[in-house]
Chain A
Amino acid sequence: MSQFAFINSLNSAVKMDEPITRGPIPRYEKRKILESSNLNSSAALNSSKNKSFNSSISSKTPKKPLEHSTVRKTPSKTPKKSPGPTANATTPGKAKTPTGGDRFISNRSTIGFELAQYKMAQENVNANGPENLDADQKERHQIITENLTGRDLSGTRILEYQKKAPIPPEGYQNHLKVVYSQSKTPMSSKSANRYIPHAPERILDAPDIIDDYYLNLVDWSITNILAVALGNSVYLWNAETGSIDHLLELEGADYVCSVNWIQEGNYIAVGTSLGSVQLWDVPQTKRLRIMDGHSVRVSSLSWNSYILSSGSRSGQIIHHDVRQRDHLVATLLSHSHEVCGLKWSTDGRYLASGGNDNLLNIWSGIPGQATFQTTPIYALSSHQAAVKALAWCPWQPSLLASGGGTADRKIRFWNCNTGVCMSDIDTQSQVCSLVWVPAFKEIVSGHGFANNQLVIWKYPALTKVAELTGHTARVLHLALSPDGTTVLSAGADETLRMWRCFVSDRKKETQCKTIETSILRPHIR
């Protein structure tokens, strides 16, 4: 029985919830009661017990006074468990409680148990005090306040002066409105020296224009005729008169993949999805010849006098000599994916080809002739995406600008004499096309996501001059008018927009450009 009582009292002490008030009476109290009840019956025993307690307290010191052991009677009265009398003397708790079995009971009066119990009870009262939070909740509170304020506010009080500052006068508007301009990115300070309209001068519809990054569907001839391929047709828009001619329509599932005007502007080459290249005489609206050679779609074309170079989806580049019956003069195999960018330099000394294999190859050429080298002079692998946008600088031969696709977003400027990338711009957007504007020494880039904008950059400062927004889908192609004042952009939103941003006093100079006589003219019958 007594051992259960002991466990109960132990449990209630361990619980720490409240002061031990209910449940069985603590053992030490029980003993007190028992002792007092036994007082009458065994006064001698008790007195001897008390004595033994007293002696035990003092006997804890190593020097044991002799008379204590002689006076003591308890060891002889209780059954001995420990062998020697010295052990009895040093372990005072050998005295048995009247009801207990043979267990070791420590002397509670020496431990100060009541004080400890009181203290523990006090602690519990404090823990259940006004805060009433356990450790987890406290920690959560602290984390929340730290998250909200950036630091723990528990040790802080926020004070305010109760007489508030006056409010601004009624009807006052923040004068800083003028400081906040509408521009999204900081522009170059030089941009102020001319007026750049931020809206297109003209918008034309281009229904069914194929939204394909790899095609080249727009070209503007030197005779001021704009050729646009829409689906399986090619339309010619005369920029002077505004008249529209339907040049050709392909049959079946065939569609136009590329158009390119010869330098003189009287013939146009059309690449098709079935791999043939058609040559058209525009003034007579007559097809001159069909040149086969590719087995897959011809997505890029470029003229170098009478040599027409075509790049196809297979990565092949073929030079066609349009004068000869056997037109296929050379095949270049260097790209492993679709050749989407192909441009002869203005002086005909270099051919740049950009492919979907992220490569930009520079081939050497001789003006007016095909190149017969089977390896490029430079294979540049700096771009991280397809290289479609290519543009040779008109005033600085051997300077090439190239733009990468979505994964790259960079415009790079190359010196093709050395094959060195001289500078680059991170445009933050897919570069779909590039065109140089010689009158202002600027370059225009057409972009895709997110703003679908055109950006005018100063070269070589590479500062942003203006950003032209308006297209609702990516700007696929760009073309510069022959007078150099207007840039045409063809967007995937099926519109063509003309941006007349390059009007200058030097307009006369650019118009004075003499049209060179064609070498080709006498040769094609």
Chain B
Amino acid sequence: MAATIQKTTNAITLKGSVKLITEYLNFGIQNILYQRGVYPPETFRAEEHFGISILISTNPKIHDFLQKILGQMKEWLVKEQIQQLSLVITSISTKETLERWDFKIEYDTRNDGTDEVTGNKDIKIIQKEIRDVLRQICSTVSFLPLLDCPCSFDLHIYATPEAEIPDQWGERGPCFISNSEELQLKSFTTSIHRMNTIVSYKAD
């Protein structure tokens, strides 16, 4: 009896894991947009998530854009058809890629056809790990070069060839940064999905 209770409290389902991953991506991306100064700071408001306060954009268009992509991502995550999400920051005037944040996804527990994919990691530990990465994103401002021109951002999804392309989606080539330096941030795992966050930036 005690064992089963233990099991249910420590278990994490595939859906739960997918939810955590997309939440992390949402807050991570919003955090980057604020910290890197892509949008004016007055268009953000602070919200408490994962035990830390995170700045969320109040611009409904950004919100819709993120929800649309992350919603689609959830589907691909369940099907294990996504390898990476890249947040690309480009200069508006020159279209040059200035910075790229790669969120690489690995599947620690493979889906073997059944829906019974569960992990055994305490959600509190996962949330703590996510908090650490989000904090680390904030601290990167100290060494990343200043984005000294108006910038826009875009999200690119690296999917497996089997993934279906829904409406309003298109294929494109990869974005490269010339003369770039890379930094791997902390990684975390939900015991189903492992998330590696890497930032590449222009070395001067």
- Verify if B179 is at the interface (C-beta below 8 Å from A): no
- Nearest-neighbour CB distance to chain B for A65, whole angstroms, equals 55
For B172, what are the chain A residues with a Cβ–Cβ distance below 8 Å? Answer: 158-160
The count of A-to-B residue pairs whose CB atoms sit within 8 angstroms is 104
- State whether A174 and B37 are in contact (beta carbons under 8 Å apart), knowing that A161-B68, A165-B61 are contacts in the complex: yes
- State whether A174 and B65 are in contact (beta carbons under 8 Å apart), knowing that A158-B172, A159-B169, A160-B172 are contacts in the complex: no
For B173, what are the chain A residues with a Cβ–Cβ distance below 8 Å? Answer: 158
- Verify if A2 is at the interface (C-beta below 8 Å from B): no
When chains A and B are docked, how far (Å) is the Cα of A159 from the Cα of B154?
A: 11
**Interface residues contributed by chain A, number (CB under 8 Å):** 25
Contact of B146 among A155, A160, A177 (CB under 8 A): A177
When chains A and B are docked, how far (Å) is the Cα of A159 from the Cα of B148?
A: 28
- Nearest-neighbour CB distance to chain A for B189, whole angstroms, equals 20
- Verify if A71 is at the interface (C-beta below 8 Å from B): no
Q: Is the CB of B83 within 8 A of A156?
A: yes
Q: Is the CB of A174 within 8 A of B146?
A: yes
Q: Is the CB of A157 within 8 A of B171?
A: yes
- Verify if B20 is at the interface (C-beta below 8 Å from A): no
When chains A and B are docked, how far (Å) is the Cα of A31 from the Cα of B41?
A: 88
A154 closest partner in B (C-beta): B161
B-contact 0/1 string along A155-197, CB 8 Å cutoff: 1111111111111110010111101100000000000000000
- Verify if B123 is at the interface (C-beta below 8 Å from A): no
When chains A and B are docked, how far (Å) is the Cα of A9 from the Cα of B158?
A: 50
For B176, what are the chain A residues with a Cβ–Cβ distance below 8 Å? Answer: 148-149
When chains A and B are docked, how far (Å) is the Cα of A153 from the Cα of B158?
A: 9
Q: Is the CB of B168 within 8 A of A148?
A: no
Q: Is the CB of A166 within 8 A of B160?
A: no
For A161, what are the chain B residues with a Cβ–Cβ distance below 8 Å? Answer: 65, 68-69, 72, 155, 168-169
A169 closest partner in B (C-beta): B40
Contact of B159 among A156, A163, A180 (CB under 8 A): A156
For A156, what are the chain B residues with a Cβ–Cβ distance below 8 Å? Answer: 83, 158-161
- State whether A175 and B150 are in contact (beta carbons under 8 Å apart), knowing that A158-B158, A158-B173 are contacts in the complex: no
Q: Is the CB of B160 within 8 A of A167?
A: no
- State whether A158 and B163 are in contact (beta carbons under 8 Å apart), knowing that A168-B151, A174-B146, A177-B146 are contacts in the complex: no
B40 closest partner in A (C-beta): A172
Q: Is the CB of A163 within 8 A of B65?
A: yes
B165 closest partner in A (C-beta): A159
For A162, what are the chain B residues with a Cβ–Cβ distance below 8 Å? Answer: 168-170
- Verify if B141 is at the interface (C-beta below 8 Å from A): yes
When chains A and B are docked, how far (Å) is the Cα of A167 from the Cα of B38?
A: 9
Please name 28 pairs of A and B residues whose Cβ atoms are closer than 8 Å in the assembled complex, sorted by A: A148-B174, A149-B174, A155-B161, A158-B156, A159-B157, A159-B163, A159-B170, A159-B172, A160-B156, A160-B157, A160-B172, A161-B168, A162-B169, A162-B170, A164-B152, A165-B61, A165-B65, A165-B153, A165-B155, A166-B59, A168-B38, A172-B40, A172-B150, A174-B148, A175-B41, A176-B37, A177-B148, A179-B141
Q: Which residues from chain B sit less than 8 Å from chain A, CB to CB? A: 36-41, 59, 61-62, 65-66, 68-69, 72, 83, 92, 141-142, 146-148, 150-161, 163, 165, 168-174, 176
In the A-B complex, the 6 residue pairs with the closest CB atoms: A174-B37, A176-B37, A165-B65, A166-B61, A159-B157, A167-B152
Given contacts A164-B65, A166-B61, A176-B147, 11 further A-B contacts (CB under 8 A): A157-B160, A159-B158, A159-B163, A160-B169, A161-B68, A161-B72, A162-B168, A165-B153, A174-B147, A174-B151, A175-B37
